Amino acid sequence: MATNLHTIAVIGSGTMGAGIAEVAASHGHPVLVYDIDAAAISRAVDGIRQRLTSRVSRGKLSADAAEQILSRLTPVTTINALAKADLVIEAASERLEVKKALFSQLAEVCPPQTLLASNTSSISVTAIAAEISHPERVAGLHFFNPAPVMKLVEVVSGLATSSEVADALCELALSWGKQPVRCQSTPGFIVNRVARPFYSEAWRALEEQVATPEAIDAALRDGGGFPMGPLELTDLIGQDVNFAVTCSVFNAFWQERRFLPSLMQQELVLAGRLGKKSGQGVYRWQEEKPAVSWLDPVSDSFSPMRVQRRSDGVTEIDELLLIETQGETAQALALRHGCPVVVVDRIERDVAVIAAAPGNPRSATQKAIYWLQHQEKRVLQIADYPGLLVWRTVAMIANEALDALQKGVASEQDIDTAMRLGVNYPCGPIAWGERLGWQRLLTLLENLQRHYGEERYRPCSLLRQRALLESSYES
């Protein structure tokens, strides 16, 4: 069926619509660019022309090829003109009532064989298609911004979507040099669902005054291997956009607590502090970002120290225990062991994020810092916080990915592919959880749930099953 998708129509001439139109035209398709505002179409085409000109100047594209791409774009301002399209991709306002009205019009204008797709990032494809004729031809085709650059496309099936339509859209995406992943129409699909903890755990840490924004971002970026810190990323996305997606997923899941929006983020949105586009969000974008407060080198007055690494992962440094976090506070561990305790976050690179029990003698905590620095780690100290930053974030992401897998949203491979390509995670969350250990993640989430007394940290059933299987293999 994909070979029959010759003429492509794109509804909406904003950033996403223009990007999708550019992708289709770049791969030889005649493209109808529809918008009720002719001036908006002109601006979109001008933007495409500028991007193509830039590629020509960098030797990435010939001038003749650029002109051919532009020649394939046809502006249209009447929806009846879309009747000759083989595929219509809607990239209009992210509101259900707007999309339903458009698709009702399209169903009347376009013949039954025309495929109808929405670029929605979180709205139900089932709901969009519910009241039109031939709903089997309706699917989600979710590109990521910027569409000409990002490889991932989520192909979303509603309840009525035929498998042939989903197959055709996957084939088309592949022919455009994209990587399609299949998923069912559930709130947030794959990426916007599984990525929620990356943002929400950062907001929670900021609300609980665990560390400064720049320290939280550094821990996840430099210590966790994420390409960007979550707070800085929300500033780039736009606080209003990120908050709206969180609210949409939260409400669509009947206000499930693990998707709870942040009051602090809401305050930024209400204040108009939307991030980079407004000049201020979490950060002031006209100024240099605050420097991260890495700890100064500790003098070698503690040398020599008695250091013993135990088989349970605990390091004894004289009277101090240095313990990789499993979701308990350093204070709780110090009371249990009857000695000073410093907990350390997951160390993936040259960064060690630590928290010390408040009752520690200063000299004991300094020994842990000294030892870590002599392992060539930059050390960042935060407040005593269960699960710290990297471990609890990765545990929550992996837990959400397994929940999506168990409920048939997508395959394990597609979930991991989506998170690597859609948001550039260093590893697919399910593969990551396998590497880190399901039992370890389960223990950490159970400890967080016990500490907070909240459903937010409830491990999903599949995580418990995998942890059980892991334990049986080890035994």
Beta-strand ranges (E) seen in 210-294 are none
Which of 26, 118, 119, 121 does the annotation list as catalytic? Answer: 121
Catalytic (active site) residue 242 = no
Interhelix angle 15-26/63-71, rounded to 10 degrees, is: 110
The CA distances from residue 260 to 191, 255, 451, in Å, are 17, 7, 18
C-alpha 467/C-alpha 475 separation (Å) is 12
Cβ neighbours of residue 153 closer than 8 Å, sequence gap 6 or more: 141, 142, 143, 144, 173, 178, 179, 180, 181
Own/partner pairs for 34-40, CB < 8 Å, 24+ apart? 34/9, 34/10, 34/76, 34/77, 34/79, 34/81, 34/82, 35/11, 35/75, 35/77, 36/77, 37/13, 37/77, 38/75, 38/77, 40/13, 40/14
Element (H, E) at 363: helix 362-373
Which of 142, 157, 232, 248 does the annotation list as catalytic? Answer: 142
Q: Are 117 and 140 in contact (CB under 8 A)?
A: yes
Altogether, the residues listed in the chain come to a count of 475
Structural tokens at position 188: 């947030």
Q: Are 400 and 196 in contact (CB under 8 A)?
A: yes
Separate counts of helices (H) and strands (E) for the chain: 19, 14
Which of 192, 248, 399, 447 does the annotation list as catalytic? Answer: 192
Q: Are 365 and 382 in contact (CB under 8 A)?
A: no
Which of 22, 90, 154, 328 does the annotation list as catalytic? Answer: 154
**DSSP code of residue 6:** -
C-alpha 393/C-alpha 258 separation (Å) is 12
Catalytic (active site) residue 192 = yes
The CA distances from residue 311 to 17, 281, 314, 316, 467, in Å, are 56, 45, 7, 11, 20
92: left (phi over 0), alpha (psi -120 to 50) or beta: beta
Q: Report the catalytic residues.
A: 121, 142, 154, 192
